[in-house]
């Protein structure tokens, strides 16, 4: 992240596990994009460093990347609604 900042980048892609430290070190104007977002009680697939939407937001994520939970769902609209509900509670 430090190299990205020095290179003039606006942010980085990071796991939720590093969010708090990155937010503390780089402030609110540094964009943090978090993949590996999984709704509560959902499969992790091959991801090891996963987080729920709510956890990632609480730790300082600016953008969430949610792929397989939606793409592999039998009802993508419902899983998207579920994720949005989790984010707002």
- Domain borders along the chain are 2-88
Sheet of 31-34: strands edge to edge?
11-13, 31-34, 63-64
Q: Whole-model pTM above 0.95?
A: no
Cα–Cα distance between 18 and 60 in angstroms, integer? Answer: 10
- CB environment 55-70: b (16+ within 10 A), e (fewer): bbbebbbbebebebbb
CATH architecture group of domain 2-88 = Alpha-Beta Barrel (3.20)
Q: Tens digit of pLDDT for each residue in 11-20?
A: 999 999 999 9
Which of 6-20, 39-53, 60-74 is the least confident region?
A: 39-53
């Amino acid at each position: 992240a430090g190299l990205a900042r020095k290179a003039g980048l606006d942010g980085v892609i990071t796991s939720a596990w590093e969010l708090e430290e990155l937010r503390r070190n780089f402030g609110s104007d540094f964009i943090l994009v978090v993949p590996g977002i999984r709704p509560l009680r959902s499969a992790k697939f091959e991801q090891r460093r996963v987080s729920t939407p709510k956890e990632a937001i609480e730790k300082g994520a600016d953008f969430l990347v949610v792929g397989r939970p939606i793409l592999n769902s039998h009802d993508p609209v419902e899983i998207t609604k579920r994720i949005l509900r989790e984010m707002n509670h």
